[in-house]
Structure 1
Amino acid sequence: MNPGSGTASARKNAEKKARTFDLTAIFEQAKQTAREVCRQPEKDPEEDPPDPGDVVAAGPSKIGAVDGGEDDVIGPLPPSRATEDKSDSDSDKEDSSMPSSMSIQMNNGVKPISALAIDANGARVVTGGYDYEVAFWDFAGMDSSFRPFRTMRPCESHQIRDLAFNATGEHILVVSGNAQAKVLDRDGLLVLECPKGDMYITDTAKTKGHIAMLNAGCWHPRERTEFMTCSNDGSVRLWDSSAGTKHKAIMKPKQQGGLRAIPTACCYSQDGNWCAVGCNDGSIQIWDHRRNFVNTAQVTRDGHAKSSDISSLKFSYRGHQILSRGLDDRMILYDARNIKKPLKVFSDLTNMYSMTDAIFSPNDKLILTGTSLRKGDTEAEIKVFNAETFKETESHVENASVIRLAWHTKINQVLLTRSDGATKVFYDETSRNGALLCVGKTKIKKKHMETVTSTQIITPHVLPMYRPDKTRLMRKQQEIDRKDPIKSRKPDMPVTGPGAGGKIASGGNTHTSFIVRQLGMREKTDDNEDPREALLKYAKAAEEDPYWVSPAYKKNQPKPIFQAVEAEEEPPSKKSKPV
């Protein structure tokens, strides 16, 4: 290394001046930009000195999510902010109600629709039900007939219990009545089938998968390959769709006494940090996704009634509340930070389906759920409650039980499924895309194509013009047959007269009649005759005129010797004993 070069570089660096910034000019430029954005007139500080009351907070401070307050601003608002607040108040009025001014109905069968899913863009809907079928609906491709473009049975003869799109909308989770969940793509092609566990292994953590019927499932809101399922085997498993050979993690909910609890509903929080599970003993158990799943983070035992399934469990969009729905005709709202004591219990909500939903509105201001039809009832309802005051704000009457509910945030439309096989979509003037894409379309008619074609003749001799006149040929053939002595002979009359052996014969002209007649002349043998005696009566004739047997024994036995028959001795009669 040349030492002179180092000295020259050091001298050059020493001659450089430090870079300076004009902070005053930067601040003035930032203020000018802020005034232009807020459309606030510039004021001369000498004429009108700043008043502390006119200072606007640098950033709006929000009240806690539990209180649900609006932005807290210090001091009076500028005119632009006031106009914004007026528009906000109008939007709040619109957000405080369900978009229900218009609706469409999509029918597929007559059995209850127990599963519903809609992708993140609101373009495709998937439904499944008690008829084992999964129907694919595409709003952009449908016309006013509202028919699915594809139906399939991915799980054979198993009821579809739950459906869900992942975060990207490319995969669909299918949870059915069997022990194996399936992952399909958007068009219904199979991507993954979870393995089935060994039912003879007592520890469910050692098995590769579930060993009993599945109850529910959902995707992770942030990770596109992770999903969760719960089953009647008492386990909740996390899966990775990119692997799929074995579960990723397992959670075992327990009852208060330590026995196994059966999970019937499961969900993630919106940030994916919490996994909540509702069990058939009425308890709600929450695990921290960032830690191991050995111990629960929160548990409540006094939620729903004992031995009552929880049909739905949802986190709010802000993640500060949890909503549960059960078969005990109740809906309970919890604070997610402490679920020991509920915030509100909504009663007298009839529920007869183990998949009935209860959901939040996208702004967490409303709570929606559906009711079921009991025997003798004629109307079910969609109940809408205010999440802050807990009062019922509106209700919509349906003529069948309401099972599934979904409120899409992008298209601002509410979807529901009913027990009569119908799927309804509610929307209003604030909605966009979704059902609006197909509601104005006319039914697509089949096009009748008219074309001019020439028929290609392969066998020309079969055409009528080449066929001979059959009538004239048949008449000529009959005249020829009359001249033939064999063909023109009178046919034989049917056989009549006496017969033998139950058959009619014509006096022995045939060989069969001769044999029958000979059979009838033979002497009948006596069944009671002794066969030995029947043979011995020919002994004298055989001795006088031997023909078959005697010549063979002429040298060694010229005189036939027959076995003598000894007289059988009668057994001694038993003497009667004196009485």
Structure 2
Amino acid sequence: MGDNDSDDYWVEQPELAPDDPMRSFLPTSFGQKSKEANIAAQIEQTRRQVPQPAAPKKTRPDVDRDSDDDSDDDSDDSEDDTERFPVSHEVVLKTHERVITSVALDPAGGRMVTGSLDSNVNLHDFSAMTPTTLRAFKTVDPWETKKSAKTSESHPIQHLEFSRMSGSVFLCITAHPQAKILSRDGDVLTEFVKGDMYLRDMNNTKGHVGEIANGTWHPSDPNLCVTAGADSTLRIWDINNKRSQKDVIVFKSKAAGSAGRTRMTAIAWGAPAQGGSSVLVAAALDGSLVMYSGNGPFNRPAAEIREAHRADTWTGGIDISSDGRMVVTRGGDGLIKLWDTRKFREPLIKVEHTSTSDRFPMTNIRYSPNSSSIITGSAAGDLHILNPGNLRPELVTPITPGAPIVVVEWHPKLNQIITCSANAETHILYSPTMSSRGALEVMSRAPKKRHVDDDPNFTTDQSTGISGDSIITPGAMAGTKRGGVTASGKSRDPRRPQVQQITPFMRSQPDEKHVAENIPLSRMLHEDPREALLKYAEVANKDPKFTAAWKATQPVTQYAELSDDDADEGPDKKKVKR
């Protein structure tokens, strides 16, 4: 076929049936292919598969048409309840190894921190996660700087909470008398002082002398926070002064046999969203519920309720509504109670709810952002969304069946519910229509392209943990050298000797440079005395100062002249006695 007929030829293609499996191996196009993420499919993959409750069995064979219509209406109502709350989809994070005891998000909703019984705080950034990289970008142990070779000091995380205004720092409370303030990157900024355990009067101690159970931030002042400890005190701190608390509230228990002391288990500090005086409410182990004016003075409580919950049961959940009028508590006696701060005497409503405080004392309860609902977890692993008026469940949905839900949180800007369970899972519930950013933003990104080099099993020697093509400098091992210093000034490199700590006693002692520059004749301490005297020998002979008075009358020293024979004998040659 000639060149002129080049437009008339055609390429013969294999004729395959539409269902032929060979079609999966044949290319459909040539050149570079761009694979874009199917956002709708990714979001649909996170839809929760909630099992519907079984329909009740029919007791009568003759069932009229109206009963069928009622059942359909009930199913429609359940679907409507599900659509009212952002629980249709979920993203699961597995970044801890033990029970997750606390979760907190910053006010903007871009960063989330979780604490666990493994003593670690994991930091998650929604802007850095993709559907295939659901992990924490940093893990922090708040007590890492105090660890030594002899003692490994770590404490379980009790409570985490971002500052309510800026979110630049968060409060970290562990099972220890000292609370910490950490930056949003996990660096320890402030460690509050520990009190003197030998002082009887808690008003005279500068810090807690017992384990801290809970804490929270001031509603409007970003520099103030409060902690509740086992020493029967509530202490208000200024984060700019770690040496002593700003105010101390000593709670005197009236329970028999308590000697005036009890453990403070939970605390909440709230104020009306439109402005007004704040209120401070705390729960004690003796079953008491005490309320103070948030602006002080704190000499005596504004109201106190004895036996608000059963004595010697842990009341770990307490929260204040957005208008500052209602208080909800979840006690260790298996009851949820609703209180009115204006008539702080008797509970308005109380309902039964199985308690998990015997295993997980930090189990909490929370109001929704606009206080239109109350959320909490159950021992069966279900999320309960309650009506704030009568505490009846509006929605009960399983999250982690068989694993109790320990803590819950509802973020106002994201409109997403976060639950943390005893099986070390964090579930972020959201809705594509009602939620924004957060987990929805993560699932709207394209999955990260994975390369064979991303798997360390193929590129790393598992015996040494070193890549095969890595270059190792003499005397160094990859992964062991850590540069920089910790917050206390200790080097992160284990091979570097520890720098001597400068104590107040050492600061009062003058150093060698100061002595040499400011003290006269101090350099003579390092001179040889014989050499120093010989420098003045010639001057002393020419111009004597102390012997000049008898220089002219001093007789000349005369020595006996020895003969040659006597000189030869010398003192060593003695005559032999006969």
What is the CA–CA distance in structure 2 between the aligned matches of 1:394 and 1:419, rounded to whole Å?
Answer: 21
In the alignment, does 2:358 pair up with 1:356? no
1:408-447 correspondence to structure 2 within 5 Å:
408-428=411-431, 429-441=433-445, 442-443=447-448, 445=450
Counterpart secondary structure, 1:337 = helix
Q: Is the 8 A contact 1:215 1:263 kept in 2?
A: yes
1:275 to 247, 266, 280: 280
Gaps of 5+ in 2: 1-79, 144-152, 455-470, 472-578
What is the CA–CA distance in structure 2 between the aligned matches of 1:333 and 1:444, rounded to whole Å?
Answer: 51
Aligned to 2:372: 365
Q: Could you say if the C-alpha distance between residues 445 and 221 of structure 1 is closer, same or farther in structure 2, counting changes exceeding 3 Å?
A: farther
What is the CA–CA distance in structure 2 between the aligned matches of 1:275 and 1:390, rounded to whole Å?
Answer: 23
What is the CA–CA distance in structure 1 between the aligned matches of 2:264 and 2:158, rounded to whole Å?
Answer: 14
2:216 to 212, 215, 218: 218
1:17-28 correspondence to structure 2 within 5 Å:
none
In the alignment, does 2:86 pair up with 1:99? yes
What is the CA–CA distance in structure 2 between the aligned matches of 1:329 and 1:138, rounded to whole Å?
Answer: 36
Q: Is the 8 A contact 1:124 1:139 kept in 2?
A: yes
What is the CA–CA distance in structure 1 between the aligned matches of 2:450 and 2:223, rounded to whole Å?
Answer: 41
1:193-204 correspondence to structure 2 within 5 Å:
193-204=191-202
Residue 269 of structure 1 deviates from its aligned partner by 1.1
Equivalent residue pairs, number: 352
What is the CA–CA distance in structure 1 between the aligned matches of 2:83 and 2:207, rounded to whole Å?
Answer: 44
Aligned to 1:131: 118
Aligned to 2:158: 161
Aligned to 1:117: 104
What is the CA–CA distance in structure 2 between the aligned matches of 1:301 and 1:117, rounded to whole Å?
Answer: 31
What is the CA–CA distance in structure 2 between the aligned matches of 1:431 and 1:94, rounded to whole Å?
Answer: 16
What is the CA–CA distance in structure 2 between the aligned matches of 1:290 and 1:318, rounded to whole Å?
Answer: 17
Q: Could you say if the C-alpha distance between residues 393 and 402 of structure 1 is closer, same or farther in structure 2, counting changes exceeding 3 Å?
A: same
Residue 118 of structure 1 deviates from its aligned partner by 0.7
Aligned to 1:342: 347
1:467-482 correspondence to structure 2 within 5 Å:
none
Residue 207 of structure 1 deviates from its aligned partner by 1.1
Q: Is the 8 A contact 1:96 1:366 kept in 2?
A: no
What is the CA–CA distance in structure 1 between the aligned matches of 2:208 and 2:172, rounded to whole Å?
Answer: 14
What is the CA–CA distance in structure 2 between the aligned matches of 1:444 and 1:293, rounded to whole Å?
Answer: 58
Counterpart secondary structure, 1:261 = coil
What is the TM-score normalised by the length of structure 2? 0.59
What is the CA–CA distance in structure 2 between the aligned matches of 1:241 and 1:401, rounded to whole Å?
Answer: 34
Aligned to 1:174: 172
1:327-338 correspondence to structure 2 within 5 Å:
327-338=332-343
Q: Counterpart amino acid of 2:361?
A: S
Gaps of 5+ in 1: 1-92, 373-378, 450-455, 457-579
Q: Is the 8 A contact 1:328 1:351 kept in 2?
A: no
Counterpart secondary structure, 1:140 = helix
What is the CA–CA distance in structure 1 between the aligned matches of 2:213 and 2:451, rounded to whole Å?
Answer: 42
Residue 281 of structure 1 deviates from its aligned partner by 1.1
Counterpart secondary structure, 1:151 = strand
Residue 417 of structure 1 deviates from its aligned partner by 0.6
What is the CA–CA distance in structure 1 between the aligned matches of 2:159 and 2:392, rounded to whole Å?
Answer: 30
Counterpart secondary structure, 1:245 = coil
Q: Is the 8 A contact 2:163 2:217 kept in 1?
A: yes
What is the TM-score normalised by the length of structure 1? 0.59
What is the CA–CA distance in structure 2 between the aligned matches of 1:240 and 1:368, rounded to whole Å?
Answer: 31
Q: Counterpart amino acid of 1:413?
A: Q
What is the CA–CA distance in structure 2 between the aligned matches of 1:238 and 1:98, rounded to whole Å?
Answer: 36
Q: Is the 8 A contact 1:331 1:349 kept in 2?
A: no
Residue 351 of structure 1 deviates from its aligned partner by 1.8
Cα deviation, 1:191-220, whole Å, max 9, x if unaligned, reads 100011111111111111111111001111
Residue 446 of structure 1 deviates from its aligned partner by 5.3
Residue 327 of structure 1 deviates from its aligned partner by 1.5
Cα deviation, 1:112-162, whole Å, max 9, x if unaligned, reads 100111110111100001000000011111122310000011134100000
Q: Counterpart amino acid of 1:438?
A: V
What is the CA–CA distance in structure 2 between the aligned matches of 1:240 and 1:282, rounded to whole Å?
Answer: 29
Counterpart secondary structure, 1:236 = strand
Q: Is the 8 A contact 2:254 2:260 kept in 1?
A: yes
1:143 to 114, 126, 130: 130
Cα deviation, 1:153-186, whole Å, max 9, x if unaligned, reads 1134100000010021001110001111000111
